[in-house]
Amino acid sequence: MVSNRTTLHAAAGLAALSLFALPSEVSARDRFITVASTTSTENSGLFDHILPKFDAASGIEVRVIAVGTGAAIKLAEDGNADVLFVHHRPSEMAFVADGFGVKRFDVMYNDFILVGPQSDPAGIHDGTNLALALKKIAATKAPFTSRADGSGTHKMELSLWVAADIDVKAASGTWYRETGSSMGATLNTASAMEAYTLTDRGTWIKFGNKGPLIIKVEGDPRLFNPYGVILVNPQRHPHTKAADGQRFIDWLLSKTGQKIIAEYRIDGKLAFFSNAESPRNAF
């Protein structure tokens, strides 16, 4: 906060002068959209890779609110975002069906993986059968950390426990530990506790504090992780920036946007695979 009155007046004078001298620059800086998205797109570094390119092409700044998928959807439902960009298809389809979104589009995908300590107390070894791995974790009461935050990852994790016929609610606070935190924080907890956890691959590749953790299960078809993008319905929230929001969506789905997503690497490894159904030539 500025406490010096002279400095405050000088700053105000310069700001006023700039309004007359550089109206086009001020206008450009004020042109932005708000995207409610999941932490995985932020933590993986994908937005740092793609958003400057969209800004350069369109003159539109994208301001991201990165939270769990459940919280991102609530922000969009309340009209506090122009675009929703998350990764839990059932919730996304419900968002559209309930009239909060215009239409869902596939943008990209990666996968979830189960990571755990090299000591492997549950005896999972390296596998591709996620249900079998979860049964072993529950049977041995090996520690497992859950985001427990309503995120897309958390929703996926809960559905996988149900498919494995395991009641984790009954185990809460014992071997099943709920962090109520982001993916990065949950991975940090798993690393410190030498516990198992479910994570998206992009965040895992970017994560720097792996410690004793390694990938234990990958490649199970149930671990497919699609991302969708949806324009918040301007009929529900007329104040949203529908035209610029749609321009961002069109760019993501364009051949240019899809190519830029596919080019993103973390330590030389692909983090996401673009999969718009019919990439567009222009936006």
Identity of residue 97: A
What does the alpha-carbon distance between residue 242 and residue 233 come to, in Å, rounded to a whole number? 8
Domain assignment present for 281: no
Domain assignment present for 208: yes
- pLDDT of the residue at 24: 42
Into how many domains does the chain fold?
2
Domain assignment present for 15: no
Take residue 191 and report the two structure tokens written for it: 């690393």
What does the alpha-carbon distance between residue 227 and residue 112 come to, in Å, rounded to a whole number? 12
Domain assignment present for 85: yes
pTM, full prediction: 0.81
CATH number at residue 169: 3.40.190.10
CA angle 80, 82, 88 (to 5 degrees): 90
Q: Are 168 and 117 found together in one domain?
A: yes
Q: Are 116 and 217 found together in one domain?
A: yes
- pLDDT of the residue at 43: 86
Choosing from 186, 201, 223, the residue where a domain stops is 223
Q: Are 105 and 151 found together in one domain?
A: no
Take residue 273 and report the two structure tokens written for it: 């695979």
Domain assignment present for 51: yes
Residue in this structure with the two tokens 């995985």, named with its chain if needed: 40
Q: Are 131 and 99 found together in one domain?
A: no
Domain assignment present for 213: yes
- pLDDT of the residue at 281: 62
- Mean pLDDT, contiguous 10-residue spans, the chain (283 residues): 34 36 47 95 93 98 95 97 96 97 97 97 94 98 96 95 96 96 94 97 92 97 96 98 98 97 93 85 55
Q: Are 186 and 85 found together in one domain?
A: no
Q: Which structural domain, as residue segments, surrounds residue 157?
A: 111-223
Q: Are 193 and 154 found together in one domain?
A: yes
Q: Are 163 and 247 found together in one domain?
A: no
Q: Are 53 and 120 found together in one domain?
A: no
Alpha helices in the chain (DSSP H): 5-21, 23-29, 39-43, 46-58, 69-77, 89-97, 130-140, 152-163, 168-171, 183-193, 201-206, 242-253, 255-263
What are the phi and psi torsion angles at 12 (to 5°)? -65, -40
Q: Are 77 and 119 found together in one domain?
A: no
Q: What end-to-end distance do the CA atoms of the chain give, in Å? A: 41
Residue in this structure with the two tokens 């041995």, named with its chain if needed: 140
- pLDDT of the residue at 66: 95
Q: Are 140 and 206 found together in one domain?
A: yes
Q: Are 126 and 209 found together in one domain?
A: yes
Domain assignment present for 124: yes
Q: Are 72 and 144 found together in one domain?
A: no
Domain assignment present for 12: no
Burial 232-255 (b: 16+ CB within 10 A, else e): bbbeebeebbbebbbbbbbbbbbe
